[in-house]
Amino acid sequence: MNISLSINGIKHEADVEPRLLLVHFIRDLVGLTGTHIGCETSICGACTVFLDGKPVKSCTILAVQADGTEITTIEGLAKNGQFHPVQEGFWECHGLQCGFCTTGMIMAVCGLLQENPQPTEEQIRHGLEGNLCRCTGYQHIVDSVQYAANKLKTQSAKAD
Amino acid sequence: MIPNNFEYFAPTSIDEAVKLLEKHGDDCKILSGGHSLIPALKLRLAAPAVVLDIGRIKELKQIKIDGNTIRIGANATHSEIANSAELKQHCPLLGETAAQIGDQQVRNRGTLGGSLTHADPAADWPAAMLALNAEIVVRSGKGERVIKAADFFVDIMTSAVQPHEIVTEIRVPKPAQPNAAVYLKVPQSASGYAVVGVAAQLKINNGQCEDVSIGVTGLAPKAFRAKSVEDALRGKALDEGTVSAATAKADADASDAMEDIHASGDYRRHLARVYAKRAVQTAASRA
Amino acid sequence: MSFLAKYIGQKVKRTEDPRLIQGLGHYVDDIKLADTLHVAILRSPYAHAKINSINVEGAKQAPGVMAVYTGNDVEGKVGYVPCAAALPELKVPKYPVLAQGKVIFVGQPVAAVVATDKYKARDAVDLIEVDYDPLDVVTDPERAAKPDCPVIHEEFGTNVAFVHSAGTGDLEAAFKQADKIVSQRLNHPRLAPIALETRGVLAQYFPGEQQMNLWSSTQIPHLMRTQVAIMLGIPENKLRVVAPEVGGGFGSKLNVYAEEALLGWISMQLHKPVKWIETRRENMAATIHGRAQVGTVDVAVKNDGTLLGLKYNVTADVGAYHQLLTPAIPTLTGLMLSGAYKIPAISMTCTGVFTNKMSTDAYRGAGRPEATYLIERIMDRIAQELKMDPVELRRKNFPQPSEFPFGTATGLFYDSGDYDKALNKALEIVDYKKLREEQKAARAQGRLMGIGVSTYVEICAIGPSAATPAGGWESATVRVEPTGKVTVLTGISPHGQGEETSFAQIVADMLGVDLNDVLVIHGDTSIVQYGIGTFGSRGIAIGGTAIAMATEKVVAKARKLAAHMIGADEEGITFENGKFVGSPTDKAVTLQEVALSAHVAHNIPTDFEPGLVATHFFEPKNFTFPFGTHICVVELDKDTGDVKILRYVAVDDCGKQINPLLVAGQVHGGIAQGLAQALYEEVVYDENGQLLTGELMDYAVPKAHQLPRYECDHTETPTDVNPLGVKGVGEAGTIGSTPAIANAVIDALGPFGVQHIDLPLRPEKLWRAMNN
């Protein structure tokens, strides 16, 4: 089946089996390997990407379902060589160790801050219930999110 | 991790979907958000010959208030329901339930219709649907059929939807006292599904419980209305003693109690009683 | 050597992160080679069964399938999965990479399908027909040791794999003198490590050169090279093992599994690269598990709280086979039974038994969490029996700082410690006295508040070679390139610990260069000299020391050339901030200038070897013994048994900290895993050996909202085991935290007279304890 979707602003067309998972399309056909796979039951969140502006788990979506959509992966987050504030937060606050969950986690954080730009710690913790991290114990991730929220706030204040 | 192959159709209208379903219904699975079906496909617990993706049918997406009825398209996602200002105003129980399902990513894809059809006994929606006296509208080549929530959940993973039918809409009568409601759950520590979940919708007048409906999920092989509790509350003042005595019967209407590595049947029954009490008290406090 | 510590001790941001936060790191599955074939593995659905026949014809005919292999194909061609640990009279069953004749655990590899893509490979797995005769299943480890139990490995006539005894001292006398014997039966549940990246292997054989590249998500690339070369019968120097980016290990990748050699062998058959990426379901069933001990501890104690002796009789659940270090894990438990206390007589008898389950092996802490949990739990039991404050009981039995190195009845010498100091600091942070008052008040109101203390000590920097199965040293090469950039090759194989940064901090300070001018290379056996790898909290203590010593050698060599270059006496030359300054001439050359000169070699002393590189293999003289105090405060929901963590305080002493940011990260992650062990995690098999926790839907790896904020602090007690004065911190959190919260929960149940509840402390168990 022919599908066409935009990934990080670039259009990709392919003839795919209907069963092909979006995550495999992104990783294997398009070659963007920053989106990871950590489970098969939609628990771990390592495969999180943005689909039409919302975070989703790309291992639980068929590529054919994404026909005609716009996808943003971790590789599309930094703009003009500048890290996204969420990426920056993870670097500043040691929000990652092995890095495997990180890419999906960062995408989920972007989703969380989009919905709730100034979350409390409790809201951050609950807001990340779709992503598992086995390394950090989450505290530095929470710190990273707070860093990013503050940075985004400052940025938008400046933009105003 | 890899599904079996299947034939795939993505109709853009209900009529088209119904026709395809008539043709392939016996070995066809309907894909809405996919958050119940796709994990099953990946683990090869389900291997249908045909997958009918109804996700592109726009008319199944709408959420609207129609007089005294709230009409939610089967494809409305949990996020859309959780974030709907209209629903928050007319029936906050819907949003409160939706917000407790899965996680933000799952809520962005998973749909009300899909979840209900899947009839997972630990899903969250059944409790709210029962508490709200919702009706589920299904379509087939034979026309439309409306199923009451109370008749909808048949058994573990079995709803009243027949192979050639497709859920199109969920109708929820506007509650008289929208805020007098709550959904509380004990999430299973790994999956987040409900070990027990209790939804309560109340109508309170001068401290008297004029009406109450309580849906319980997670406890039994199918979600159920806690009628014994409701009967013990209706017409009474909701003092501590009354609520305690009434909610002690929260498991009385369960067909059976599920047991697994996460909780025994006894504990589930106990949780149902505890959470029914908390739900009634919280809902009452919000009235 | 003296140097300006510009980076050491600072919270330096990680140099690894820019690639990782952009998704530009390369884990095994991100490495794409042209013409790669994909392997899918058929695994046993039975815990114990005879294989009558396997029919692979259908699978072979399936689209895209290049080959299907079973146990018959690899018999005599691929060696057995290795066990490197040795114990007297250890029974080591042959562990074939594909089952031969029978299967003995759910998930055991039975056949491998090779196809042009992973979807086709997976499809063909379903076309393999295996005729099994199910056999009696052994899942209960205590039953496994009994004579009437079915035997898994018939050749041994028993399920007992080993009996290990440890400890010294006159136990009999201790128990005779005791005012009281406090006993407790304890279960250490089986856990799954769950690195977020599952295992994966990519093998590429070059038939012309007869060489092989093997990428594997591993913590031990060199040890794997040796073992896989032996298994495949190829020369070790023709096998290149690469651990690329590795997405967590926690011990689960401190191993050599069937799949590495299997994939290598398949690549040799088909002359193409072959890849296998483990699914989570496979990971739950066929990657090692941890813990899984059940036993009874008896402690002889005086009425004043003085500990006299400890006896631990335990059964360790080996699982179906030994993996690399399986039998060694309980020996670590035996070593650490003295905990942070003076106990004159200790004895452990550990019976290791085979069961029809996945093998157990090293999971974060590896044998030490078992020791710490049991000793910290029994300390609370003793305090309960003697009606003593658990803190006072602990304090009473601490060795004093002057008593270090402190010899234990288990034969260890703890390098250094000040246990009181860490304890006092933690007590101060929580305000222990006030907390106990709050608890009293809470109880008066009918609230169930609990306070749990754990004063742990662990054994790290593993280890001296004599005590480590495959060598306990570590290697480093430090090279100053002609342009002055510094390349470090380490045998350590980090997979999240951040040692590309912390090692660079050490070298940058010692050489006076910019941190970003130091490149740390690891994990590639064709680039890096032989090394041991990352486990046992050894990275900085041993690997970092090797690097520091190699760096010293480089400086010594550079000094010689610098003296020559500036015409000064070598002895009078100072080296500071990247510059060699002569005395009394005051002429100076930079390290960069020396490096260039060393490589160009136009003007070097006659006895000077060109180049500027040095290698050091560091053999530590002892383990290190980090310690600390963790305090947890909980409140239980009386109606449901739900546990709410109100506070979590950790004061850890890991010696000198190279990078406090990374130390905090290690402590946090460790605590998370230890708390998860206490509250959520347990691998469950049913009586038929079926895995009930086969997915993350049922095995609860905690999410952010299921864990508290940790209040961390530290003390710093120097050690002389290594010149950096570091002790290691990778496992401390895991080891200290489980008993802290367990003690808090049991303490909360004090009003019900509860003495002990086995882990995990699920709400239902607590609710039952309140209602029995």
Over residues C364-405, the pLDDT tens digits come to 999 999 999 999 999 999 999 999 999 999 999 999 999 999
Q: How far is CA C571 from the centre of its chain?
A: 44
CA distances from B67 to B84, B132, C251, C479 (A): 17, 16, 61, 79
* Alpha carbons within 13 A on the beta-carbon side of C485: 6
The residue extents of the domains of chain C are 17-24+473-618, 31-135+196-248+253-286, 365-459+623-771
Q: Which of A19, A86, A94, A120 is best to mutate for the C interface (most C CBs within 10 A)? A: A94
Annotate B70-82 with b (16+ C-beta within 10 A) or e (fewer).
Answer: bbbbbbbbbbbbb
Tell me the C-alpha distance between B141 and C672, whole Å: 54
pLDDT digits (tens, 9 = 90+) for C501-522: 999 999 999 999 999 999 999 9
- Upstream peptide bond of C463 is cis (omega within 30 degrees of 0): yes
For residues B47 and B69, membership in a common domain is answered with no
> Are B107 and B126 in the same domain?
yes
Sheet holding C474-480, edge to edge: C518-522, C486-490, C474-480, C613-618
Q: Tell me if B266 is assigned to some domain.
A: yes
Question: Between chains, do B105 and A45 touch, taking CB under 8 Å as contact?
Answer: yes
B204 has which bridge partners?
B209
Residues B168 and B69 in one domain: yes
Reduced to 3 states (helix: H, G, I; strand: E, B; else coil), residue C372 is: helix
**Tell me: the pLDDT tens digits for C257-288?**
999 999 999 999 999 999 999 999 999 999 99
d(CA A86, CA A109): 7
Residue A160's pLDDT is what? 76
Q: Is residue B163 part of a domain?
A: yes
pLDDT at C255: 98
Domain containing B260 equals 181-286
Helix axes of B240-247 and B265-286: crossing angle, nearest 10 degrees: 150
Using CB atoms, pick whichever of A41, A60, A115 lies closest to residue B34: A60
Taking the Cβ of residue A115 and every Cβ of chain B, the question of whether any pair is shorter than 8 Å is answered with yes
Domain spans, chain A = 2-76, 85-159
For residue A98, what pLDDT is reported? 98
- DSSP SS3 for C610: coil
pLDDT interval class at C184 (50, 70, 90) = very high
- Which chain C residues are within 8 Å of A18, Cβ to Cβ? none
pLDDT for C414 equals 98
Q: Record the tokens describing residue C699, joined without a space.
A: 């095995």
C463 has a pLDDT exceeding 90: no
- Is C585's pLDDT higher than 80? no
Same domain, B129 and B218: no
Q: Is any Cβ of chain B less than 8 angstroms from the Cβ of C696?
A: yes
Q: How far off is chain B from C9, nearest CA to CA, in Å? A: 38
Q: Are C205 and C271 in contact (CB under 8 A)?
A: yes
Q: What is the distance between the alpha carbons of residues B116 and B73, in angstroms, rounded to a whole number?
A: 12
C490 close to C476: Cβ distance less than 8 angstroms: yes
Interface test with A, best of B30, B45, B103, B107 (most A CBs within 10 A): B103
C-beta atoms of B43 and C118 within 8 A: no
H or E stretch including C663? helix C660-679
Enumerate neighbours of A (3 or more CB pairs within 8 A).
B, C
C86-100 per-position pLDDT tens digit: 999 999 999 999 999
Helices (H), C100-245: 118-125, 141-144, 171-177, 221-232
Residues of A in contact with C13 (CB under 8 A): 91-92, 94
Domain annotation covers residue B103: yes
Give the residue among B107, B83, B280 at the shortest CA–CA distance from B192. B107
Does B2 reside within a domain? no
Fold of the CATH domain C17-24+473-618 = Aldehyde Oxidoreductase; domain 4 (3.30.365)
SS3 (DSSP) at B87: helix
Helix (H), strand (E), coil (C) string for C243-304 = CCECCCCCCCCCCCCHHHHHHHHHHHHHCCCEEEECCHHHHHHHCCEEEEEEEEEEEEECCC
- For residue C385, CA distances in Å to C180, C381, C388, C433, C752 come to 9, 6, 8, 21, 15
pLDDT average, residue stretch C477-485? 98
Q: C365-459+623-771 — its CATH code?
A: 3.30.365.10
Residue B144, in any domain of the structure: yes
Instruction: Quickly state the pLDDT bin for C584 (edges 50, 70, 90).
Output: confident
CATH (one of 1.10.260.40, 3.90.1170.50, 3.40.50.740, 3.10.129.10) for C31-135+196-248+253-286: 3.90.1170.50
Give domain A85-159's CATH architecture. Orthogonal Bundle (1.10)
Q: B189 to chain C: which residues are within 8 Å by CB? A: 679-680, 700, 702, 706, 762
Which amino acid belongs to residue B208? Q
Share of chain C above pLDDT 70, in %: 100
* Vertex C80 angle, CA C74 and C85, to 5°: 170
In the listed set B126, B149, B173, which residue is the last one of a domain according to the structure?
B173
CATH number of B32's domain: 3.30.43.10
* Model pLDDT, residue A113: 98
Helices C368-386 and C732-748 sit at what angle, rounded to 10 degrees? 30
**Pick among A2, A17, A37, A56 to test the B interface (most B CBs inside 10 A):** A56
Residues forming beta bridges with residue C504, ordered by sequence position = none
B76 in the same domain as B114: yes
Interface partners of B (3+ CB pairs, < 8 Å)?
A, C
Asked if A19 has any chain B CB less than 8 Å from its own CB, the reply is: yes
Chain B CB contacts of A134 below 8 Å: none
How far is it, in rounded angstroms, from Cα C368 to Cα C339? 9
- Confidence bin at C1 (pLDDT 50/70/90): low
Residue C417's contacts (CB-CB under 8 Å, 6 or more residues apart) are C340, C399, C401, C404, C406, C457, C625, C627, C653, C717
Residues 6+ apart with CB under 8 A from A42: A57, A59, A60, B35, B38, B39, B102, B105, B106
Q: Give mean pLDDT, residues C100-113.
A: 98
Kindly state the helix (H) or strand (E) to which residue B50 belongs, with its residue range. strand B50-53
Q: Please indicate, yes or no, whether residues B119 and B73 belong to a single structural domain of this protein.
A: yes
CA C242 to chain centre: 19
Give Cα separations from C166 to A21, B67, C20, C310, C313 (angstroms).
Answer: 53, 79, 44, 11, 11
Tokens of C482: 């002609």
Interface test with A, best of C648, C699, C703, C738 (most A CBs within 10 A): C703
| pLDDT given at position A124 | 98
Task: Answer yes or no: is pLDDT of C728 > 80.
Answer: yes
Chain A residues within an 8 Å CB radius of B190: 43
pLDDT in tens, A16-67: 999 999 999 999 999 999 999 999 999 999 999 999 999 999 999 999 999 9
Tokens of residue C47, six digits: 């815990």
- With beta carbons less than 8 A apart as the criterion, state whether C631 and C647 touch: yes
Which residues of chain C have a CB within 8 Å of the CB of B43?
281, 695
Please confirm whether the linkage preceding C760 is cis (ω < 30° from 0). Answer: yes
SS (H, E, C) chain A: CEEEEEECCEEEEEECCCCCEHHHHHHHHCCCCCCCCCCCCCCCCCCEEEECCEEEEHHHCEHHHHCCCEEECHHHCCECCECCHHHHHHHHCCCCCCCCCHHHHHHHHHHHHHHCCCCCHHHHHHHCCCCCCCCCCCHHHHHHHHHHHHHHHHHHHHHC
Q: Do strands A48-51 and A54-57 pair parallel, antiparallel, or not at all (unpaired)? A: antiparallel
SS3 B206: coil
B1 falls within a domain: no
Chain C nearest-CA residue for A130: C703
Residue with tokens 């909290």: C537
- Of B43, B189, B262, which is closest to C706 when you measure between CB atoms? B189
3-state helix, strand, coil in chain C (%, to 5): 35, 25, 45
The nearest CA of chain A is from the CA of C728 a distance in Å of: 16
* Mean pLDDT, residues C593-620: 97
Interchain pair C195, A140: CB under 8 A: no
Helix, strand or coil for residue C162? strand
DSSP codes, C672-699:
HHHHHHHHT----B-TT--BS--STTTS
Q: Which of C193-197, C330-334, C460-464, C593-597 has the lowest mean pLDDT?
A: C460-464
Test B103 with A41 for CB contact under 8 angstroms: no
A108 touching chain B per CB within 8 A:
yes
Q: At residue C35, does pLDDT exceed 80?
A: yes
Residue of C19, C20, C36 for testing the chain A interface, max A β-carbons within 10 Å: C20
- Asked if C521 is an interface residue toward chain B (Cβ–Cβ < 8 A), one would say no
Of the candidates C228, C189, C171, the one whose C-alpha atom is nearest the C-alpha of residue C205 is C228
By CA distance, what is A140's nearest residue in C? Answer: C665
Domains C17-24+473-618 and C31-135+196-248+253-286 share a fold: no
Q: Is B45 on the interface with C (CB under 8 A)?
A: no
Rounded to whole angstroms, the Cα distance separating C255 from B277 reads 51
d(CA C340, CA C383): 16
Task: Name the domain count of chain B.
Answer: 3
pLDDT at C586: 82
Same domain? B165 vs B231: no
Give the nearest chain C residue to A99 (CA atoms): C20
Nearest to C119 among B2, B43, B190 (CB): B2
Chain B: closest CA distance from residue C509 (Å):
45
pLDDT beyond 80 at C640: yes
- Looking at beta carbons, which residues of chain A come within 8 Å of C245? 98-99
Average pLDDT in chain C: 97
Q: How far apart are CA C287 and CA C284, in angstroms?
A: 6
Asked if C168 contacts C410 with a C-beta cutoff of 8 angstroms, the reply is: yes
Q: Find the farthest-apart pair of alpha carbons in chain B and give their distance in angstroms, rounded.
A: 60
pLDDT, one tens digit per residue, over A86-140 is 999 999 999 999 999 999 999 999 999 999 999 999 999 999 999 999 999 999 9
* Of C716, C621, C722, C726, residue with least CA distance to C418: C716
Residues on chain A touching C665 (C-beta within 8 angstroms): 94, 97, 135-136, 140
HSE-up (13 A, CA, CB side) for residue C513: 25
Do B112 and B125 touch, CB atoms closer than 8 A? yes
Q: What per-residue confidence (pLDDT) applies to B154? A: 96
Give pLDDT < 50 ranges for chain B: none
Please identify, in words, the CATH class of the domain defined by A2-76: alpha beta
